[in-house]
């Protein structure tokens, strides 16, 4: 783990090189407003160089060469570069390994320091530690800053000084600790000439997707606009309906949630701006919607601090005794789940929404995850991996937290014996079947009372509706009542060990 700031150490024999200014290393913070690292670099004095590494360590490991996230990054980088250029600077974009590229850039630019915003994921911490050491060897300081959360690491602890592992008291403590300073933006106001344009050898602009081995996706046709402008537009529209959030958020056919997760993931919005708005609005009459939404931002921070304090959750159950759950992991069941062909309409609608758009509504993430683990008896880590590969807003801490919640292996999770009934969930949260019809069009002809469990319709009615189970839509892959009993037995065995 890198210390927050690494000061250079210099051998007495070597002459002190003339170094000036700093390099801001952008990562999951693709904006040039309210940016802790950029503000700190400007404060230090110019010249301030800006860079982004299209990191081969990450890109080469992606499962496909068409990846909506890479296209989102591409669009966001272009906008950020243009915005920095308008202020006299610009972005040097390197396709390479950040571990080497950042120290090499620092050497080339002869900067005194590198500033970056903190990343809490174990692999990123390892990378940053390596970069900090390598910079230190050449006499360059590495400063990392809190930016992507309101509270980080040890800033919100229990009275006895230990990390929280239950959400509700964490939320209470988070709100109690909140002061105006935590929500104050980091001012990015460079004087003329402080931002430095990329050097001529680095001024090729943002490399094309093709040149880094990727192809364009359907991002534009999905209506996802990358960059600060995309985040701003989405937030502007959400602000107008935030008062309805509490009532609307659980119904996937309604325009309830903000859709801002991808922007939070890549930092094209500032969490301080979002939280400041939600907090102020939550204190006004009728502020229940804003208060509920602020709680969701707190969930995000809850899982970030879980990952920070308990990095073993990557690959392991938070509750270590539940690492012994012996899932049968039937590959046919896993494939049917991924393809949205389980025969349970709400689960299939969610999984098809994910495949088609790279996004899945939160209620459906919970239902689909529970179904995979507790109905199909497939290891939560396989589902977690699939989400990581396909979600445009994939975030290690929130995804891991969500999966461990659904699998009952997590810190503050669903009790192990509580198993969502996929039909009841469907009747409750997609009452008239509008969401199912949108994503499972072969069920469109069914009425609200027929769509949630179509296999229960008589053969004659199935014929009449043109939805014959086994021909037009799969029969249920498992019987929920039996699957539930199997899951309880599986969990019971693990807990008895
Ligand atoms: C199995 C599972 C996997 C998940 N994987 C991810 C993931 O990879 N990335 C991700 O950002 N969220 C994940 N979530 C949380 C949640 O589903 C998404 O954050 C939310 O659906 C994103 O949509 P939104 O921006 O419209 O949310 P909104 O309802 O508008 O919420 C605003 C923001 O609050 C945060 N948030 C909301 N709910 C949660 C939550 N339960 N946990 C943590 N943060 C939350 C997100 O940053 C979100 O953008 C997962 C949940 C589950 C159950």
Residue 377 Cβ < 6 Å to ligand 1: no
pLDDT at residue 302, rounded to an integer = 98
pLDDT at residue 2, rounded to an integer = 43
On whether the CB atoms of residues 360 and 337 are closer than 8 A, the answer is: no
pLDDT at residue 496, rounded to an integer = 78
Residue 384 Cβ < 6 Å to ligand 1: no
- Quick one: 97 exposed, middle or buried, by C-beta within 10 A (0-12, 13-18, 19+)? middle
CA of 94 relative to ligand 1 center, distance in Å: 30
Residue 353 Cβ < 6 Å to ligand 1: no
Residue with tokens 């959360």: 149
Task: Determine the length of the chain.
Answer: 497
CA of 394 relative to ligand 1 center, distance in Å: 9
Closest-CA residue to 89 (of 46, 118, 139, 55): 46
From residue 390, give the alpha-carbon distance in Å to each of 359, 438, 441: 8, 20, 22
> Which residue from 230, 261, 381 has its CB within 8 A of the most atoms of ligand 1, so it is best to mutate?
261
Ligand 1 atom, smallest distance to 388 CA: 8
Q: Do domains 22-146 and 320-496 have the same CATH topology?
A: no
Residue 366 Cβ < 6 Å to ligand 1: yes
Ligand 1, atom 46, lies closest to the CA of 261
CA of 295 relative to ligand 1 center, distance in Å: 11
CA of 398 relative to ligand 1 center, distance in Å: 7
CA of 360 relative to ligand 1 center, distance in Å: 9
Ligand 1, atom 12, lies closest to the CA of 398
CA of 347 relative to ligand 1 center, distance in Å: 18
Residue 403 Cβ < 6 Å to ligand 1: yes
Q: Which long-range contacts (CB under 8 A, 24 or more apart) does 453-462 make?
A: 453/345, 453/423, 453/426, 454/345, 455/343
Ligand 1, atom 20, lies closest to the CA of 362
CA of 261 relative to ligand 1 center, distance in Å: 6
pLDDT at residue 4, rounded to an integer = 45
Residue 402 Cβ < 6 Å to ligand 1: yes
Q: Which fold has domain 22-146?
A: Rossmann fold (3.40.50)
pLDDT at residue 495, rounded to an integer = 82
Residue 261 Cβ < 6 Å to ligand 1: yes
Per-residue pLDDT of the chain in tens (497 residues, 90 and over written 9): 444 454 555 445 555 557 899 999 999 999 999 999 999 999 999 899 999 999 999 999 999 999 999 999 999 999 999 999 999 999 999 999 999 999 999 999 999 999 999 999 999 999 999 999 999 999 999 999 999 999 999 999 999 999 999 999 999 999 999 999 999 999 999 999 999 999 888 888 899 999 999 999 999 999 999 999 999 999 999 999 999 999 999 999 999 999 999 999 999 999 999 999 999 999 999 999 999 999 999 999 999 999 999 999 999 999 998 999 999 999 999 999 999 999 999 999 999 999 999 999 999 999 999 999 999 999 999 999 999 999 999 999 999 999 999 999 999 888 898 999 999 999 999 999 999 999 999 999 999 999 999 999 999 999 999 999 999 999 999 999 999 999 999 999 988 76
User: In CATH, which superfamily holds the domain spanning 320-496?
Assistant: DNA Cyclobutane Dipyrimidine Photolyase, subunit A, domain 3 (1.10.579.10)
Residue 387 Cβ < 6 Å to ligand 1: yes
Ligand 1, atom 52, lies closest to the CA of 402
From residue 135, give the alpha-carbon distance in Å to each of 9, 112, 141, 193, 387: 10, 10, 7, 25, 35
From residue 43, give the alpha-carbon distance in Å to each of 19, 145, 251, 290, 344: 16, 13, 46, 34, 57
- Quick one: 362 exposed, middle or buried, by C-beta within 10 A (0-12, 13-18, 19+)? middle
Domain covering 149-186+227-309 assigned CATH 3.90.1170.50 in the classification:
no
> Which residue from 402, 404, 413 has its CB within 8 A of the most atoms of ligand 1, so it is best to mutate?
402
pLDDT at residue 13, rounded to an integer = 52
Give the residue extent of every domain in the chain: 22-146, 149-186+227-309, 320-496
> Which residue from 357, 362, 425 has its CB within 8 A of the most atoms of ligand 1, so it is best to mutate?
362
Q: Which two tokens stand for residue 246?
A: 């509490």
On whether the CB atoms of residues 297 and 278 are closer than 8 A, the answer is: yes
Residue 394 Cβ < 6 Å to ligand 1: yes
Ligand 1 atom, smallest distance to 238 CA: 30
Distance between CA atoms of residues 448 and 432, nearest Å: 4
Ligand 1 atom, smallest distance to 405 CA: 53
């Amino acid at each position: 783990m890198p210390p927050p700031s690494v000061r250079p150490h210099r051998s007495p024999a070597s002459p002190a090189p003339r170094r000036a200014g700093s390099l801001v290393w952008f990562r999951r913070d693709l904006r040039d407003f309210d940016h802790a690292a950029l503000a700190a670099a400007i404060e230090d004095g110019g010249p301030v160089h800006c860079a982004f590494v299209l990191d081969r360590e990450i890109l080469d490991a992606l499962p496909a060469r068409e990846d909506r996230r890479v296209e989102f990054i591409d669009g966001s980088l272009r906008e950020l570069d243009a915005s920095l250029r308008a202020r006299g600077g610009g972005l040097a974009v390197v396709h390479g390994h950040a571990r080497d590229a950042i120290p090499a850039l620092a050497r080339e630019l002869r900067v005194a320091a590198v500033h970056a915003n903190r990343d809490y994921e174990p692999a990123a911490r390892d990378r940053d530690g390596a970069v900090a050491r390598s910079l230190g060897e050449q006499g360059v300081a590495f400063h990392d800053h809190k930016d992507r959360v309101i509270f980080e690491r040890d800033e919100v602890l229990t009275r006895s000084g230990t990390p929280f592992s239950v959400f509700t008291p964490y939320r209470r403590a988070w709100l109690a600790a909140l002061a105006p300073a935590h929500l104050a933006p980091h001012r990015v106001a460079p004087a003329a000439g402080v931002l430095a344009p990329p050097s001529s050898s680095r001024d090729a602009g943002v490399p094309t997707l093709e040149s880094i081995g990727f192809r364009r996706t359907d991002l534009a046709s999905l209506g996802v606009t990358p960059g600060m402008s995309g985040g701003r537009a989405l937030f502007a529209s959400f602000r107008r309906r935030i008062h309805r959030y509490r009532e609307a958020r659980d119904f996937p056919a309604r325009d309830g949630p903000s859709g801002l997760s991808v922007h939070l993931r890549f930092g094209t919005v500032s969490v301080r701006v979002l939280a400041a708005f939600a907090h102020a609005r939550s204190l006004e009459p009728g502020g229940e919607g804003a208060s509920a939404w602020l709680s969701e931002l707190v969930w995000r921070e809850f899982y970030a601090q879980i990952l920070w304090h308990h990095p073993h959750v990557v690959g392991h159950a938070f509750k270590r005794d539940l690492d012994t759950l012996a899932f049968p992991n039937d590959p046919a069941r896993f494939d049917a789940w991924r393809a949205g062909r389980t025969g349970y309409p709400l689960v299939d609608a969610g999984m098809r929404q994910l495949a088609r758009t790279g996004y899945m509504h939160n209620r459906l993430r919970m239902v689909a995850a529970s179904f995979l683990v507790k109905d199909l008896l497939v290891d939560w880590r396989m589902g977690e991996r699939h989400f990581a590969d396909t979600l445009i807003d994939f975030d290690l801490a929130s995804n891991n937290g969500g999966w461990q919640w659904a699998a009952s292996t997590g810190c503050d999770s669903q009790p192990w014996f509580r198993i969502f009934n996929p039909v009841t969930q469907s009747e409750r949260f997609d009452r008239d079947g509008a969401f199912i019809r949108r994503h499972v069009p072969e069920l469109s002809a069914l009425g609200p009372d027929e769509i949630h469990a179509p296999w229960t319709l008589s053969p004659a009615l199935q014929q009449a509706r043109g939805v014959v189970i086994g021909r037009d839509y799969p029969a249920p892959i498992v019987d929920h009542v039996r699957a539930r009993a199997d899951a309880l037995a599986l969990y019971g065995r693990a807990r008895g060990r």
